[in-house]
Structure 1
């Protein structure tokens, strides 16, 4: 066999146990199907990936495919090479209307609507989603039954009522509900209420320049959260971004409910079974006082390098299609609990009877498809996304742990976040993201 064409693929390791193994196997399988190509995969922690790609580009190196976490989407859009040219090119534009590439059926046109909306610009799919997630409600149904609660809460008011009933249960949980103090829940609160986090247009029609963290919808969420905490309904572990702590409290019976990512479905189902209680997974509760707009997505996507050798580009594009063909996308969902990224993958799982056997796994895609497709529900795009998340969680920690006034504290948070966004946008205007503050990922 002659010299193979190397396709450098840099993947973001989300650090779950054995996370990279299925992706490495896909690379090996693609090579067997296309022996003229070598898929050279290297991985890095998803938080470090944007800066590592930036440093490589400054040194004249670039991957053919690079994976970015969703909060780094603006960083990828702004990434440039040594000459100041864009580091990536829109995937859909490179596909150029073809139905197959190197014999691999094109799937970019079949990406589910919520993911397509997040990763598109001017109607063109810019990057290929690989991991799709959203936030769900996990319920200890055994506790609800004992408390006489009929039905799973769908709204904030219904959740409060259910928690009140649980609170009257002799020997029941010490608190009603828990969730991590993490930036995604601020996004969900704004998205479901139809409010943008950044203007104009949530950063989706043009670059976001004005942060909105102290508006009516944000303060409605923060005040509600603070009140639940003050009343003893919400359990705060006292630590920011404490996913593990909230999981342990829920499984340990200290709460009846938990908000968390759909990535926890598989783990939580197993843990609930071991703990001896019935589990229900359902849509994240929303504010019933305003029209429901939609839940935002999280996850990762694959970006195609610009200016690649044509043979390398063909191999890279073919690999992007292969990774997300219906079989592979469906298997990735079974392994990970991530949302199937294409309609064909969802249909395949339906036809196999997988969702009938595992109904928990159907909740996340159904929740996303219930959204109205608005710019608010699509989620924000902005620079220093991770830094702005840190501002939000620090402010909320001050409210919960130190009794800070929500309105005053979030006005300060808005000013702090605006400084971060301004600094990022100044760097981009001066030639692209470059300072460490530009590469914060959360």
Structure 2
């Protein structure tokens, strides 16, 4: 009997859900088994890494000449992935749009890109070309203690900044009410959301989507409108600042202990905030992220991960990798991922699965985040920025806000200073990547 032909091995590096998700269940593992069974000429082999160290892991692999075929990156390092070079000095990844080349199926697996929520899919476009295939998404929403609101006479969740301010005033005016009314951590996402909602850019060149950005704008009119509103809530006693940047645990505790009525956070936090309310005897509702009354709402930014395709693969390996991406994003796989991790279903067919099995009937709160992304206008502002040195630039925003909230600095001057530092960061990043010589940014510490 003739020996079976060797299988084409597809090496897939994914982020480890135990590092960022609500539980360890990863549909990718079962999907890999299903794909291998459906396509016996292939074997998908999955390795998992901490999402924060993935760029460094890839850089080390490139140095050793042992590269994965598919790599999953966090959205914040999209520019880093785009700039990462292979051992021969050429781009490490091939844009998936170019590789798919208009096909509607690959190895019999239907291409799912056309069914994806546009705001999720198009975040990963650069110069009109799709770079990678999204796998998971979330956004920022409003959580509310509706029992406290009812006692304060607030019947509807606030939709705008002005309505939030009025609701906070009502909560703090009621007898026996909490000392504060609202909280959210001082981290980078609220700033990006506020800019996107107001149609404002963080960097030039269409938010870094039509070319490498060269200028930052962290003190725009839109950004300062948000900062001044936030500062005003804090000054008037409505906003609870724990005094620590990125203090999610402190904010979670404040909401759970009914020290505030409102909490702004990731839609993923429905996974535990709804249960915290039930455990402590109060009802939790979820609403869209409030926006500036004075400006038309453009949209909200996603958070999530996407799958990048290695360059230079032979046709069989490339098609196997692309086919697995489609298989992983089959409606039932996406729906299972959304159920277990409280993520937004990235395809409309997956949302239909959740509708049909009663998930949304049992959890109507979980429609809000997806509807919020569906409503985005698709502009570069609403999609959010692509820039190098993302973490270091975002740190300038949170550092500046800390100084404003603690009374160390006046808002406008402090954010102008933050912008000046951010400008230095992207200039350092750009010079490093553009050379000469051109270099891969994965191990660059641009903040030093």
State the superposition RMSD in angstroms: 1.6
d(CA) in 1 for partners of 2:170 and 2:86?
A: 58
Match of residue 98 from structure 1: 103
Map of 2:35 onto structure 1: 30
Superposed, 1:11-410 pairs within 5 Å as 11-14=14-17, 15=19, 16-19=21-24, 21-410=26-415
Native 8 Å contact 1:399 1:405 kept in 2: yes
Helix, strand or coil at the partner of 1:195: coil
Q: Is the 8 A contact 2:144 2:285 kept in 1?
A: yes
The answer for unaligned runs of 5 or more in structure 1 is none
User: Contact 2:84–2:441 at 8 Å: present in 1 too?
Assistant: no
CA contact (8 A) 1:12 1:45 kept: yes
Size of the alignment, in residue pairs? 440
Contact 2:22 2:271 survives alignment (8 Å): no
Distance 2:400 2:8 in 1: 50
Q: 1:262 to 1:168 in 2, by over 3 A?
A: same
TM-score where L is the length of structure 2? 0.95
Distance 1:333 1:439, change over 3 A: farther
C-alpha deviations, 1:50-91, integer Å up to 9, x for none? Answer: 121122113222211001100100011111112111111111
Aligned-residue offset at 1:150 = 1.7
Offset, 1:435: 6.8
**What does residue 6 of structure 1 align with?**
9
- CA distance, structure 1, for counterparts of residue 399 and residue 114 of structure 2: 40
Per the TM alignment, residue 218 of structure 1 is displaced from its structure 2 partner at its CA by: 0.9
C-alpha contact 1:51 1:439 (8 A) present in aligned 2: no
| Residues 115 and 348 in structure 2, CA contact (< 8 A), matched pair in contact too | yes
Aligned residues of 2:55 and 2:442 also touching (Cα < 8 A) = no
1:391/1:413 contact within 8 Å kept: yes
TM-score scaled by length of structure 1 = 0.96
Instruction: Output the CA distance in 2 between the equivalents of 1:300 and 1:379.
Output: 14
Q: Per the alignment, in what secondary structure is the counterpart of residue 260 of structure 1?
A: strand
For 1:115 and 1:188, the matched residues in 2 are separated by 14
Provide Cα deviations, 1:166-200, integer angstroms capped at 9, x if missing partner: 00122222211000111011000101111000012
- Contact map agreement 1:92 1:108 (CA 8 A) in 2: no
- Determine if contact 1:127/1:301 at 8 Å carries over to the other structure: yes
Unmatched tracts of structure 2, length 5 or more: none
Q: Which residue of the partner structure matches residue 439 of structure 2?
A: 432
Q: 1:438 to 1:341 in 2, by over 3 A?
A: farther
Q: How far apart in 2 are the matches of 1:426 and 1:54?
A: 19
User: How far has the Cα of 1:439 moved from its partner?
Assistant: 8.0
3-state SS of the aligned residue for 2:183?
A: strand
| Offset, 1:20 | 5.4
Secondary structure, aligned partner of 1:181:
coil
